[in-house]
Chains A and B, each alone.
Chain A
């Protein structure tokens, strides 16, 4: 059970090592049992006054002890090696699996579980072979061996010892069942609280601005309380069986003691009495490990809950990949054909969308916020698969492409810019770590990041903070644009990528992008219609479809939805108080 699950987390090679480790551990436990059993004849002989016989028995004891030492050494080291093998591979394996999962998988619950698992969880799983499996085996196997050898000396005593085993097994089973019933809720509560802590840290600005700075918001405190309750319930449920286990084990000690007393009082033969007394030495060797079974099994239960979590994560299905991927397309036109998509079934976002982005042209995408523009971009990046219809790049269906091939074709700038803590340079180089200094500077020039680099004291080596919080919104966007440009992909996707830039920088970046015209297929989403005046074509998105398509002039001539958007801004009164008279709206110059 636990072993086979553990071996599934290991590579085939290390799996074989696990089997080896288990064999050595078993041998060690048996050897220890047999060696300890030798105490009975030695003590018996001593008590009978036969020192010479006792001395003779010391020889096998010596041999047994050295063998046990050897085996113990080998098995304990084997356990550590397996732990280190897990350390080497487990986190990477999970990380590589997770990166291929669709974006929809990254729900707060899943992310919480992922964080716990990759942090403490992995450490607990490592503890299994390193510290817990051998003692558990020892706690079970050594007493069993001793009971068997006890039978060689005295059937009654062996029986008295064996009789508690069912009771022990029952408490063990009971403990496991109860434990598992509360574990999952405790784990979920822990993961949730962990996520809330991250949220708490990242939301300080608004928490304080809105006056809930003292304790964070209600949901945060609720998560802490829930975690606390879950732990307390776990405590009340887990502690009784744990105590019961040691009671039952100690009970067996007393019953053996009573049994030996009764037998010895009936008997008058000194040899028998001496032997019975000597057996009491073994009794403690049987009972002591048994009292620990519950403790070790509790640790194992905890680790196996983490293994559950790992298995759940690894079982999450990535978007289907082709067994034989199509060769990457040479042309980079993008075609949406009758694409429908919805995040939740009852609310379609795209509804039979047809859209073509000819290779090496720039297409602007316009639409109300919430119209589905970002969704189109996400579908091109295959963060989701459409519910219906097909999306092709260069005539190849997206789902027939290898994920890596697809990602090397596109360079998106998302609406929510996300930077990783590290330096400016790290973040820009993300898409092409081996880019030359000249290429870096060129990308920085086109995206106007060079202005920022000059201004920041540490230049390219300025830290950006987690999520980019050390930069202003506009600076962050420039980093994201530079990152995309540097990647050098044939398809560039910009989702409101310059919204936080001032008009001058915006114009400069738009200029920069124009220089790439003809070199890449570009999709530009923007509410700033001015930035779209030079693109080859503009598509207007409304109610899940493209309702208008054409050049700026064509659309203006058409006088449809596009013009409505233009006029909306012009007609807007702008930011002024209602009571004031509108000043004249003259343009300068």
Chain B
């Protein structure tokens, strides 16, 4: 009964099941009734046999009434069972969606670093496979286990009532089964199941990388073989699974033989013949053992496979619980809407683990200015941009917008204030329109098109099979530069007071870049109080910026206008010289 108790105990697993606890309890109770009713024809058979064999008057009426009772009991039992199945399946169906959404919501609030530290395969494993394991628990395992236990208890109670000695003998195979199966169950402990989940997750993860990195796999993998990491994951899974499952085959097979109908038949008939010979039991008493007693092998087998499913579900529930217990990024403490628009970094520090990426960075981005951020790749420019976006929290210092700490600003308001073009273009597999309108799903078509025009991608979109309705990744394929321009359009659509462009035109050709610059300029011409932060390596494009900030190794080493920095002959001037050497001449810029 301890297995069933799990459903009710406020233990780890059951917190996930809370929404379905009521229907589940009801289903379990009804199932007990149904199991009893379904046994009625089997009991009926014994009674029928006694009636038929007895040579009494009115046996005909009696016999038919037994048949009628069996029919009634069975029908009621089956109807109830149908009801139970429907209830649990529907409850589970609702639960699965609920769990998936809950996970999505929780993960959305986890620190962004969690996603870089964990594979997307893990997310899918949890949302898909682990939730499916819970499905099995809710829709099948509990009810099946109840059925098996109720049936077995009823059968043995009835058999003991018929003859307790034979009932004891009929119990022997169950005991043998239990001993053998305990070995199987011991191997399906929490640790092993967790390991199984991990290994499967690795395969899942390897498949994601295999498919997404297919160009690299094809040209760098060993010839004629699948991706090496995939093969390794598969091989590891295989050795794990073999080592785990192989030793279980023997006890599992023997256990199933111990409980097989032929075994039970031999036992009860052998014993029945002997006891009848001794005169200890009446011949008719042997009958129920042969009819019902043999029937316990099915519920016992159910019991065992149900117990395994329960273990699987437990492991899955543990993984889900771990995800649901992820630390969330603290929600904004206040709901402020600052009046000012000045973005200020004060002594900002940031580290990934031990490594300090940003060191005491102070910077002021005022409305109506263009600030350019340059510096060696890996110096922390993108990290700085992410902090400005509130995607990560500084580990020291603070960032304020209009004097209010980013943490205290109402989230929705804040998202409307900043438009961001990340260095890694990421388009979703939705229509081109929805991709552009990601931050403003309610934007009108005209606004979406205006943003696309400004990012110089409108004409290309019109050439797609279904124009703005084409789905990226399905009927719309874009070149790297085109995708990047779409990503710019996405930020421009927000029409944000603050615009952060992280190497946004790195893949654009010169003409496209000029067009984008003109587009952005035109779009923001109407309101001069924009704040723009440009991260770029194209020094030629930022000479006009109000401030050029040079970041090196996470610290600001220089800041000022082009002229001033050039005169200083520091890091910035060095970068220009590098450009000149690679041009190899003093070609006009």
Q: Which residue in B120, B411, B541, B584 is a CB contact (below 8 Å) of A534? A: B584
A251 CA to B265 CA, complexed, in Å: 24
1/0 contact string of B260-303 vs chain A (CB within 8 Å): 11110110011011001100000110110011101100100000
Collect the chain B residues with CB atoms within 8 Å of residue A276's CB.
52
Query: Shortest beta-carbon distance, B104 to chain A, in Å?
Result: 5
Closest Cβ of chain A: how far from B181's Cβ, in Å? 14
Closest B residue to A126 using CB positions: B241
Q: Are B510 and A569 in contact (CB under 8 A)?
A: yes
Is A580 engaged at the interface, CB distance under 8 Å to the other chain? yes
Q: Which of B214, B273, B368, B525 contacts A42 (CB 8 A)?
A: B273
Closest B residue to A411 by beta carbon equals B219
Question: Which of B211, B429, B585 contacts A106, CB < 8 Å?
Answer: B211
| B164 nearest CB across to chain A (Å) | 19
A497 to chain B, nearest CB (A): 11
The residues of B that contact A383 with a CB separation of less than 8 Å are: 215, 218
In the complex, the chain B residue whose C-beta lies closest to that of A232 is B93
Whether B473 and A108, one on each chain, are in contact in the complex, defined by CB atoms closer than 8 angstroms, is yes
Interface flag for A386 (CB, 8 Å): no
List A548-589 residues whose CB lies under 8 Å from chain B.
Answer: 564-566, 568-580, 582-589
Contact flag A261-B63 (CB < 8 Å), given A403-B223, A408-B223, A431-B220 = yes
* Cβ contact within 8 Å between B429 and A200: no
> Does B225 sit at the interface, judged by CB under 8 A?
yes
Known: A119-B207, A215-B101, A572-B541. A381 touches B219 (CB 8 A): yes
CA distance A420 to B536 in the complex (A): 26
List residues of chain B with CB within 8 A of the CB of A160: none
The reply to whether A465 and B116 contact each other, CB–CB distance below 8 Å, is yes
Q: Is the Cβ of A533 less than 8 Å from the Cβ of B509?
A: no
> Are A35 and B121 in contact, with the CB atoms below 8 A?
no
- The reply to whether A455 and B270 form a contact with Cβ atoms under 8 Å apart is no
Given A76-B256, A246-B78: A580 touches B124 (CB 8 Å cut-off): no
Q: A95-B226, A407-B223, A503-B537 are in contact. Are A212 and B563 (CB under 8 A)?
A: no
Contact status A370-B115, CB under 8 Å: no
Contact among B49, B104, B512, B566 for A216, CB-based, below 8 A: B104
User: Mask for A266-288, Cβ within 8 A of B = 1, else 0?
Assistant: 00001001101100110111001
Give the nearest-CB partner of B96 in chain A.
A228
Interface residues of A in 526-543 (CB under 8 A from B): 527, 529-531, 533-534
> Which residue of the partner chain A has the closest CB to B513?
A572
Chain A 134-174 per-residue mask, 1 if CB under 8 angstroms from chain B, else 0: 00000000000000000000000000000000000000000
Evaluate contact between B545 and A235: CB separation under 8 angstroms: no
Alpha-carbon separation in the docked complex, A418 to B338 (Å): 41
Asked whether, in the complex, the Cβ of A55 is within 8 Å of the Cβ of B355, the reply is no
Q: Is A250 within 8 A of B74, CB to CB?
A: yes
B 167-203 to A, binary, CB cutoff 8 A, 1 in contact else 0:
0000000000000000000000000000000001001
A119 touches B370 (CB 8 A): no
Stretch at the interface among B340-348, B396-404, B420-428: B420-428
CB pair A47 B283 closer than 8 Å: yes
Contact yes or no, B481 A285, CB < 8 A: no
B90-117 interface (Cβ within 8 A of A):
90, 93, 96-97, 100-101, 104-105, 107-109, 112, 115-117
Smallest CB-CB separation from B463: which chain A residue? A347
Cβ–Cβ contact B391 & A205, under 8 A: yes
Q: Report the stretch among B2-10, B11-19, B373-381, B446-454 that lies at the interface.
A: B373-381
A76, A87, A209 pick with most chain B CB within 10 angstroms:
A209
Interface segment out of the listed A6-14, A16-24, A352-360, A469-477: A469-477
Within 8 A of B (CB), among A382-438: 383, 403-404, 407-408, 410-412, 414-416, 418-422, 430-431, 433
Task: Verify if A317 is at the interface (C-beta below 8 Å from B).
Answer: no
Taking the nearest CB of chain A, how far is it from the CB of B229, in angstroms? 6
Residues 211-231 of chain A, each 1 if its beta carbon lies under 8 Å from chain B, else 0: 111111111110011001001
A465 touches B238 (CB 8 A): no
Task: Give bound CA distance, A487 to B220, whole Å.
Answer: 8
Given A108-B474, A576-B544, decide whether A210 and B220 contact each other with a Cβ distance below 8 A.
no
Whether B382 is near chain A, meaning CB under 8 Å from some CB there, is: yes
Q: Which of A64, A344, A469 has the most CB of B within 10 A?
A: A344
For A457, what are the chain B residues with a Cβ–Cβ distance below 8 Å? 353-355
Segment with Cβ contacts to B, from A110-118, A175-183, A330-338: A110-118
Answer yes or no: B372 CB below 8 A from chain A CBs: yes
Question: Out of B207, B224, B228, B290, which one reaches A43, CB within 8 Å?
Answer: B290
Query: 0/1 per residue, B420-458, Cβ < 8 Å to A?
Result: 101110101110001000110100000000000000000
Selected contact of B287 from candidates A80, A242, A277, A415, CB within 8 Å: A277
Contacts of A51 in B (CB 8 A): 273, 276-277
Known: A254-B70, A586-B563. A568 touches B511 (CB 8 A): yes
Could you say which residues of chain B place their CB within 8 Å of the CB of A411? 219-220
The distance in angstroms between the C-alpha atoms of A47 and B291, with both chains bound, is: 14
Check B580–A579 contact: CB distance below 8 A.
no
Contact A47 B284, beta carbon cutoff 8 Å: yes
- Of A55, A473, A530, A574, which contacts B424 at CB under 8 A? A473
Kindly state whether residue B41 has any CB partner on chain A within 8 Å: yes
**Residue pair B479, A369 in contact (C-beta under 8 Å):** yes
Q: Is B316 an interface residue (CB 8 A)?
A: no
Are the C-beta atoms of A209 and B216 separated by less than 8 Å?
no
Chain A CB within 10 A, most for which of B249, B353, B374, B585: B249
**Alpha-carbon distance A207/B391, docked complex (angstroms):** 10
Chain A: interface secondary structure? helix
With A261-B48, A568-B511 known to touch, is A209 a contact of B481 (CB < 8 Å)?
Answer: no
Bound CA span A272–B12, Å = 60
One of B204, B422, B541 near A574 (C-beta < 8 A):
B541
Query: Would A221 and B124 count as touching, CB distance under 8 A?
Result: no
CB–CB B101/A281 < 8 A: no
Q: Are B266 and A472 interface neighbours, CB within 8 A? A: no
Judge whether A293 is part of the interface by a CB distance below 8 angstroms.
no
Given A225-B97, A264-B52, A533-B584: A194 and B124 interface contact (C-beta under 8 Å): yes
Taking the complex as formed, is A312 at the interface, i.e. its CB lies under 8 A from any CB of chain B? no
Task: Select the stretch in A66-74, A303-311, A439-447, A515-523 that faces chain B.
Answer: A66-74
CB-based nearest A residue for B103: A197
B162 in contact (CB, < 8 A): no
B94 to chain A, nearest CB (A): 8
A2 interface contact, C-beta 8 A: no
Whether B393 is near chain A, meaning CB under 8 Å from some CB there, is no
Measured between beta carbons, the chain A residues less than 8 angstroms from B42 are 284
B588 proximity list for chain A (CB < 8 A): 570
Q: Contact between B70 and A206 (Cβ–Cβ < 8 Å)? A: no
Specify which of A203, A343, A504 lies most central, judged by the most chain B CB atoms within 10 Å of its CB. Answer: A504
Cα distance A203–B490 in the bound complex, in angstroms:
14
Which one of B23-31, B152-160, B569-577 is at the interface? Answer: B569-577
Q: Which of B74, B108, B257, B465 contacts A72 (CB 8 A)?
A: B257
Given contacts A199-B428, A205-B112, contact A412 B219 (CB under 8 A): yes
Asked if B558 CB lies within 8 Å of chain A CBs, one says: no
Knowing A65-B266, A77-B249, A502-B575, say if A212 contacts B562 (CB, 8 Å): no
A327 CB to closest chain B CB (Å) equals 16
B332 within 8 A of A: no
Closest to B217 in A: A99
Contact A261/B507 with A43-B287, A208-B112, A507-B582 known, Cβ cut-off 8 Å: no
Interface residue? B543 (CB, 8 A): yes
In the complex, the answer to whether A566 meets B434 with C-beta atoms within 8 Å is no
Given contacts A98-B210, A578-B525, 9 further A-B contacts (CB under 8 A): A55-B273, A99-B224, A204-B115, A231-B96, A344-B475, A369-B481, A473-B503, A504-B578, A589-B573
Nearest 3 CB-CB pairs, A to B?
A474-B377, A369-B481, A95-B226
Q: List 24 A-B contacts (CB under 8 A).
A: A32-B261, A84-B242, A87-B238, A108-B429, A118-B203, A119-B129, A201-B107, A205-B426, A208-B391, A209-B420, A210-B494, A212-B438, A219-B434, A228-B93, A239-B82, A257-B48, A260-B52, A261-B48, A264-B63, A369-B509, A416-B480, A421-B205, A430-B216, A466-B209
